[in-house]
């Protein structure tokens, strides 16, 4: 084990450190984190609707929250919250992405966010057209429709207009396009700012005005560069926008790959491997966890908002970002609340028990730094195997329980500090079976940790036999 640990320290740790400190990946991680106030507010709205609109239908025949005073009004208010948050989550992210990229290079953050947003929006279709045939319209109806600006005959309607931004271009579908276009546009802006190709005003001009004017040339160049790209792309691929092309060629295949058991296990393993060396695994893998599994979760939330759990089961993703929290990361990455319990039941080491007692409170709220660095788990060869193995087993249980239809897929975004059981219950849209799956995963993880906790009793001769 020591040889393996030394090998990991020599070859893996330097790579992990570089990944963890790479400024663009850090900016991407911070961009996702920056959207949390909005996405969490939207998730709370969806969750409340799930509890007062959807959950009662499972137990009360004929229940319809939209017909009950107060309930109906709360549902409507939550709809407005949804409109301004998750319905435009991609738009919020693209600003956060540009802002954090610009901050990473020490240039005007606000302008960076604006450039990223403007460049990405420039390629979204502002028009729509749709046709319906096989109708039977009288002359009055045909005249009224034509007068409204659409084209109608006695058997068909052709609707077309400009000035519409479809919401499915602004929600989670925008994330992958935003990552590419937002990055390129912001980097053009950043490089020109760093090269000082700016408009310079006298010192007497207020700083806010000077900063805005200094951004004009870099911002204009960046947005024009992206606009030219969109123009050329439209000539080469006339039947779809760049966003639609990204969705078809990159986003959907990538999301599909993420649903494979091997991909889920690989992510879980690497999170644990990073943590073993004291590097925050979820932060390092944020581009995958948030950029792929997080996008899948936003799609599940959208489906739940439109059709409840049935829509998520029929058309949603089985494994999303919150699935890790629900079924494997109870107590924090690695499911360390289970280790704490194993220590309290089976450890005779005074140092282990002291750390475990201090870690119970934070662990209930999925904060595991006290046990990670206090025990420690980090760079502890004795705990390396269960620290990697237990989450893999837990993820497997949650994955197959979802895949086999034993529990509804995760369809809500729940604050990560929510205690276990309650988190999985809320995350699945109040599916009562989810806490049971979490319990099974915890028991399996507990069984894995027990032998290693007992073995640790014999490692250090300075044991507290009376503990």
Give residue 466's pLDDT: 41
For 298-313, the pLDDT digits (tens) are 889 888 888 888 888 8
Q: Given pLDDT bands bounded at 50, 70 and 90, which one contains residue 181?
A: very high
Tokens representing residue 83 in the block: 């409109």
Q: Give the end-to-end CA distance of the chain in Å, rounded to a whole number.
A: 29
C-alpha span between 215 and 185 (Å, rounded): 13
Give the pLDDT confidence of 327-354 residue by residue, as tens digits: 999 988 888 999 999 999 998 888 888 8
Q: Are 94 and 183 in contact (CB under 8 A)?
A: no
CA dist., res. 368 & res. 361, Å (int): 10
DSSP H or E segment with residue 108: none
Q: Distance between CA atoms of 54 and 47, rounded to whole angstroms?
A: 10
Q: Are 215 and 188 in contact (CB under 8 A)?
A: no
Are 434 and 407 in contact by the 8 Å Cβ rule? The answer is yes
Distance from C-alpha of 424 to C-alpha of 436, rounded to nearest angstrom:
9
Which of 14 and 241 is assigned the larger pLDDT? 241
Cα distance between residue 401 and residue 409, in whole Å: 9
DSSP-derived secondary structure for 82-94: HHHTGGGHHHHHH
Which of 43-52, 264-273, 395-404 holds the top average pLDDT?
A: 395-404
CB-CB neighbours of 410 under 10 Å: 36
Structure tokens of 414? 């729940």
Q: What is the C-alpha to C-alpha distance for residues 111 and 114, in angstroms, rounded to an integer?
A: 5
Residue 289 is predicted with a pLDDT of: 85
Lowest mean pLDDT among 6-10, 195-199, 240-244: 6-10
CB 172 within 8 A of CB 247: no
Beta bridge partners of 156: 133
Q: What per-residue confidence (pLDDT) applies to 277?
A: 73
Tell me the Cα Rg of the chain: 26
Average pLDDT (270-295) is 81
Q: Among 7-11, 59-63, 413-417, 440-444, whose mean pLDDT is lowest?
A: 7-11
pLDDT value at residue 402 = 94
130, β-bridge pairs: 159
- The proportion of the chain whose per-residue pLDDT surpasses 90, expressed as a percent, equals 33
Determine the 3-state secondary structure of 365 from DSSP: coil
Tell me what the mean pLDDT of segment 437-448 comes to: 95
Q: Is a pLDDT exceeding 50 seen at residue 365?
A: yes
465 pLDDT higher than 50: no
pTM: 0.73
Query: Is 76 buried (19+), middle (13-18) or exposed (0-12) by CB count in 10 A?
Result: exposed
331: left (phi over 0), alpha (psi -120 to 50) or beta: left
Residue 287 has pLDDT above 80, yes or no: no
> Which tens digit of pLDDT belongs to each residue from 369-381?
788 878 888 877 7
- Residue 175: its pLDDT value, please? 83
pLDDT for 94 equals 93
**92-106, 363-377, 413-427, range with the lowest pLDDT:** 363-377
CA 119, distance to chain mean position in Å, is 23
105 — pLDDT class (breaks 50, 70, 90): very high
**Euclidean distance between CA atoms 331 and 196, whole angstroms:** 48
Q: What is the pLDDT of residues 65-100, one digit of tens each?
A: 888 888 889 989 988 998 898 888 889 999 999 999
The residues, ordered by sequence, that sit 6+ positions from 441 with a Cβ below 8 Å of its Cβ are: 327, 328, 330, 335, 393, 394, 397, 398
Q: Which residues contact 212 (CB under 8 A, 6 or more apart)?
A: 111
Kindly tell me if the per-residue pLDDT of 122 is higher than 60.
yes
Q: What's the CA gap between 272 and 429, in Å, rounded? A: 28
Residue 183 has pLDDT above 70, yes or no: yes
Mean of the per-residue pLDDT values of the chain: 84
Which residue from 296, 270, 320 is spatially nearest to 427, judged by alpha carbons? Answer: 320
Q: How many CB atoms lie within 10 A of CB 140?
A: 8
Largest CA distance in the chain: 96
Nearest-10 Cα torsion for 388, 390, 392, 395? -140
Q: CB–CB of 157/141 below 8 Å?
A: no
The C-alpha atoms of residue 438 and residue 332 are separated, in whole angstroms, by: 14
Are the C-beta atoms of residues 172 and 299 closer than 8 Å to each other?
yes
Interatomic CA distance for residues 148 and 137, integer angstroms: 15
Say whether pLDDT at 103 is over 60: yes
């Amino acid at each position: 084990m020591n040889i393996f640990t030394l090998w990991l320290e020599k070859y893996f740790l330097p790579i992990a450190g570089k990944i963890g400190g790479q400024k663009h990946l850090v900016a991407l991680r911070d961009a996702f984190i920056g959207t949390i106030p909005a996405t969490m507010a939207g998730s709370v709205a969806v969750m409340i609707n799930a509890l007062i609109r959807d959950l009662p239908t499972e137990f009360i025949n004929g229940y319809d929250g939209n017909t009950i005073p107060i309930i109906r009004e709360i549902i409507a208010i939550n709809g407005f919250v949804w409109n301004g948050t998750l319905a435009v989550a991609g738009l919020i992210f693209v600003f956060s992405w540009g802002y954090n990229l610009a901050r990473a290079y020490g240039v005007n953050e606000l302008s960076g966010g604006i450039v990223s947003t403007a460049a990405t929006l420039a390629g979204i279709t502002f028009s729509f057209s749709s046709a319906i045939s096989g109708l039977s319209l009288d002359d009055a109806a045909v005249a009224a429709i034509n007068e409204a600006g659409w084209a109608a005959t006695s058997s068909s309607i052709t609707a077309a207009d400009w000035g519409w931004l479809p919401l499915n271009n602004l929600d989670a579908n925008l994330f992958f396009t935003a990552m590419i276009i937002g990055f390129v546009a912001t980097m053009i802006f950043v490089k020109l700012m760093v090269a000082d190709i700016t408009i310079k005003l006298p010192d007497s001009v207020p700083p806010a005005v000077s900063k805005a004017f200094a951004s004009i040339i870099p911002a204009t160049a960046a947005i024009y560069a992206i606009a030219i790209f969109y123009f050329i792309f439209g000539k080469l691929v006339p039947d779809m926008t760049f966003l639609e092309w990204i969705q078809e060629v990159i986003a959907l295949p990538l999301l599909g790959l993420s649903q494979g058991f091997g991909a889920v296990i690989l992510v879980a393993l690497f999170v644990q491997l990073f943590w073993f060396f004291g590097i925050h695994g979820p932060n390092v893998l944020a581009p995958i966890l948030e950029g792929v599994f997080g996008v899948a979760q936003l799609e599940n939330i959208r489906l739940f908002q439109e059709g409840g759990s049935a829509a998520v089961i029929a058309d949603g993703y089985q494994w999303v970002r919150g699935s890790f929290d629900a079924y494997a990361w109870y107590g924090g990455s690695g499911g360390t609340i289970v280790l704490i319990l194993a220590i309290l039941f089976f450890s005779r080491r005074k140092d282990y028990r002291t750390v475990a007692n201090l870690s119970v409170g934070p662990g209930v709220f999925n904060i595991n730094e006290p046990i990670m660095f206090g025990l420690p788990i980090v760079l502890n060869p004795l705990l390396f195997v269960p620290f990697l193995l237990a989450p893999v087993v837990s993820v497997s249980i949650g994955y197959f329980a979802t895949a086999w239809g034993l529990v509804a897929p995760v369809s809500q975004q729940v604050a990560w500090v929510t205690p276990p059981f309650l988190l999985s219950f809320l995350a699945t849209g109040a599916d009562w079976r989810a806490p049971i799956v979490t319990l099974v995963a915890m028991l399996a993880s507990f069984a894995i940790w027990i032998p290693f906790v007992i073995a640790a009793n014999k490692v250090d001769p300075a044991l507290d036999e009376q503990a």
